[in-house]
Structure 1
């Protein structure tokens, strides 16, 4: 993110900061609704089942690895996007990519457990995200120190997934629990970063960054719920 000539919104007045936050979280809500709309289209059009079958034709851990990689590079995509058009394109492309990657997991959840587990996981993720966001807002604490932890955690997760692919080892429930914790740390870190480092014209990129963390938590909350049924 080129902030050399653009001061972070934290350095501006209260009105500019408030406007930035409203735009950021409005776009985050829009991204979540777009994600939900794409998934509804996949399922109502009958595309979800063949998509899931095609993706499950490869090792399922490879799909998990693809998800982690996409999530990991989401913030980088937002950082590289200079213009508004590029930011919107990155946000839209990323939401579409996440929606596609989620299809096999949602199909398995709906068939093996029931559609209600998807709603339960979504509400749990929303509550968790809201609580973590409130912690950043109301404490005013800078959680940038979590950046290294999040990066190392993502790296270790990728290593674990590769090992699982090569050995056939089932990562199991505790891996999902650990990844939910890592997603929580990512939400704290990303929210703090958005508040303290993003310029006021980067609200679309900020929404993309937050959406990546929300999607990561939803993925592993849903996996955890599925493993307990």
Structure 2
């Protein structure tokens, strides 16, 4: 029987096939590395242009819109273009936040600590899942509830001043994103996610939110 090849554009794997799962995993990490690098470039450009917070908000909203485009086109080569557009916009949206922290006396140190902490958490948790092959699908319900609570809390703090609220929210997001890294990596290696573009988006958002939450925590601790 002739076997249908799996291309980089489609990456539609057959669940339960070790070779195909490894291919999805490899393509996911390769694309994740490229999109993170592209985000760093667009963030640097946004910082150099000194874009304002309102522009950052608009870019974030555009990013949410592009997220739907990525999911819709993930089965075709158009998904590659969409995911780079999405991650590029999200990287640029970080410009004002990074400029704010870098303007502090030890801002460079805070940003580097946040980057280092994000890398340590991501690689440690990913390595744990890849080594133990443990299935973390049981965390799905808990993580979904956590995301809803975090979203509601974020909206509430836009209108109400809650002492220590931002600190608690940032700490909660760090825990939540750590759980999502375990969950999303587990889904890939157990065949729950067979499209490397969607898998990349999930891990990218985990890293993105983990980094910003760690940066807020470090900033509060330093203050």
Both structures adopt the same fold (TM-score exceeding 0.5)? yes
Residue 145 and residue 126 in structure 1: after superposition, are their counterparts in 2 closer, same or farther (change >3 A)?
same
Deviations 1:135-190 (A, max 9, x none): 21112111112222222111111111222122233523222111100010111111
CA distance in structure 2 between the partners assigned to 1:191 and 1:95 by the alignment: 19
Matched, 1:31 2:31: no
Distance 1:225 1:41, change over 3 A: same
Distance (whole Å) between structure 1 residues aligned to residue 130 and residue 27 of structure 2: 16
2:168 corresponds to 1:174: yes
Distance in 1, Cα, partners of 2:134 & 2:86: 29
Q: Which one of 72, 78, 81 corresponds to residue 89 of structure 1? A: 81
Judged with a 3 Å threshold, the aligned counterparts in structure 2 of structure 1 residues 82 and 34 are, in CA distance, closer, same or farther, namely closer
Matched, 1:103 2:98: no
Is the 1:31–1:95 contact (alpha carbons within 8 Å) kept by the matching residues of 2? yes
Q: 2:12·2:75 contact (CA, 8 Å) conserved in 1? A: no
Give 1:22's match in structure 2, choosing from 26, 36, 46. Answer: 26
Q: CA RMSD in A?
A: 2.6
Asked if 1:52 corresponds to 2:56, the answer is no
Q: Which runs of 5+ in 1 are unaligned?
A: 1-5, 57-62
Distance 1:193 1:114 in 2: 36
In the TM superposition, structure 1's runs of 4+ consecutive aligned residues that sit over 6 Å from their partners are: none
Query: How far apart, in 1, do the equivalents of 2:178 and 2:95 lie?
Result: 23
Whole-Å separation in 2 of the counterparts to 1:25 and 1:77: 21
Structure 2 residue runs without a partner (length 5+) = 1-10
Pair 1:26–1:82, CA change in 2 (3 A): closer
SS at match of 2:52: helix
The answer to whether the 8 Å contact 2:83/2:201 transfers is yes
Structure 1 residue 17, shift from structure 2 partner: 2.9
Name the structure 2 match of 1:222: 215
The higher relative CO (CA closer than 8 Å, separation ≥ 6) is in 1
Alpha-carbon distance in 2 for matches of 1:109, 1:221? 12
TM-score normalised by L of structure 2: 0.81
Count of equivalent residues: 206
The farther-off stretch of 101-110 and 124-133 is: 101-110
TM score, norm. by length of structure 1:
0.79
CA contact (8 A) 2:83 2:197 kept: yes
